[in-house]
Amino acid sequence: MVYEATATAPVNIACIKYWGKRDTKLILPTNSSLSVTLDQDHLRSTTTSRADESFEKGDRLWLNGKEEVVKPDGRLGVCIKELRNWRSVEEEKDSSLPKLSQWPLRIASYNNFPTAAGLASSASGLAALVASLARLYQLPQNASQLSLIARQGSGSACRSLFGGFVAWREGEKSDGSDSLAEEIEPQSHWPEMHAIICVVSDAKKGTSSTSGMQRTVETSTLLKERLKIVPERMKLISKAIKDKNFEEFAKITMKDSNSFHSVCLDTFPPIFYLNDVSKSIISVIEELNKSNGKIIAAYTFDAGPNAVIYSLKENIPKVLGAINKFFPTSEESKDPFKLTPVDLPENFDYKVVREGGWEKGSVKTLIHTRVGDGPRTLGKEDSLLNEKGEPK
Ligand code: DP6
């Protein structure tokens, strides 16, 4: 009997950004946040976990084929420990259960997109780890409860345990038991919500989110102003999603991205995640909206220069037209929907972009995706581990 489980988990991109911790050990945030889960058919982390009595002592884990050290007090170690403790409670309740909690683990994880490109790989990776272990240990699959554990691996990971539109409630308790993720609306509520990811650079980023946000908490006075406005934004964007009011959703998303990057600039020493290409994408989207007479696209940026542009499916051809016009890509774009870009409106003011546009490859490639579902369980045939419990 092989005790093993394989799960996949999605990437999520926040519209209201998490930036700042009030407790760095438990990973409790200074504000609530809200994200859209992206489709796992296009971007995902897959994780296989196996428990075996005969494995040499100690847990081992591989990320994209490379072995990582699992420190017991590190973030991965804490997630594994929490799930193991939960399993042992279940084993105590039911003595017929095999004692998986006492056996060493072998875990392999694989991302189908570049790690640390600012594409939230830690979120999908940690969520897939938690989902696969929860399955292996046959824990009750309550996503909000699991989110409490994923949160301790990486804050934004707690939101990847749900599909659709997801809020991470900051909570009030000092033990973190109410700092969890919950679904605002499922994927099926607004499936027309699509996203274009502009991969500006897939190099490893300069300042990690973890150290960057800590420096912001310690040095930025503007963060205090930001924290006053977020609760209202959470309410407004939740309503916009419920009402499927794209213009309102887009306005709040863009404002919150701008607010997050402002507090980064207000950090001392300052943090720059946006580069000139990122800023030029902002100008193009602003002008695209203006020349269309309404907001049809929303940009947002995480801790890196890549843009994520949210737009309804019907308007994606316009977004693709605008991006292709000024940012010729160097690698073939991924568009599973095969939509044909349309030309810019006649009144589009070309002066918003530097003359001649950007050189080829300033935006490397585009990934077209949409709102997606939460973690999925896969079968034995999808296992990432070989017989010996090493990556295939
Ligand atoms: C800008 O979740 O990566 O993407 O909790 O320290 O692991 P840690 O940080 P992380 O931060 C994500 C920050 C963000 C905004 C967001 O996803 O809400």
**Mind listing the pLDDT tens digit for each residue in 318-329?**
999 999 999 999
Q: From the CB of 17, is ligand 1 less than 6 Å away?
A: yes
Q: What share of the chain is helix, strand, coil (3-state, %, to 5)?
A: 35, 20, 40
Cβ atoms of residues 275 and 200 within 8 Å: yes
Q: From the CB of 303, is ligand 1 less than 6 Å away?
A: yes
Total structural domains within the chain: 2
Complex-level ipTM beyond the 0.95 threshold = yes
Is 73 within a domain?
A: yes
Q: What's the whole-model pTM score? A: 0.96
3-state secondary structure of 92: helix
For 258-289, how does the pLDDT look when each residue is reduced to its tens digit (9 = 90+)? Answer: 999 999 999 999 999 999 999 999 999 999 99
Is 122 within a domain?
A: yes
Mutate-to-test residue for ligand 1 from 12, 15, 18, highest number of ligand atoms within 8 A of CB = 18
Do 308 and 170 share a domain, yes or no?
no
The C-alpha atoms of residue 392 and residue 385 are separated, in whole angstroms, by: 5
Do 64 and 23 share a domain, yes or no?
yes
Q: From the CB of 150, is ligand 1 less than 6 Å away?
A: no
Do 125 and 166 share a domain, yes or no?
yes
The C-alpha atoms of residue 6 and residue 380 are separated, in whole angstroms, by: 7
Do 182 and 58 share a domain, yes or no?
yes
Whether residue 230 has pLDDT greater than 70: yes
Do 179 and 248 share a domain, yes or no?
no
Do 273 and 344 share a domain, yes or no?
yes
Give ∠ CA 107-81-20 in degrees, rounded to 5.
95
Is 392 within a domain?
A: no
The C-alpha atoms of residue 182 and residue 238 are separated, in whole angstroms, by: 12
The C-alpha atoms of residue 301 and residue 9 are separated, in whole angstroms, by: 21
Report CA-CA distances (Å) from 79 to 32, 86, 130, 150, 246.
Answer: 21, 11, 7, 7, 37
Do 331 and 237 share a domain, yes or no?
yes
What residues make up the domain containing 88? 3-187+376-382
- Six-digit token string for 154: 């990486």
Q: From the CB of 122, is ligand 1 less than 6 Å away?
A: yes
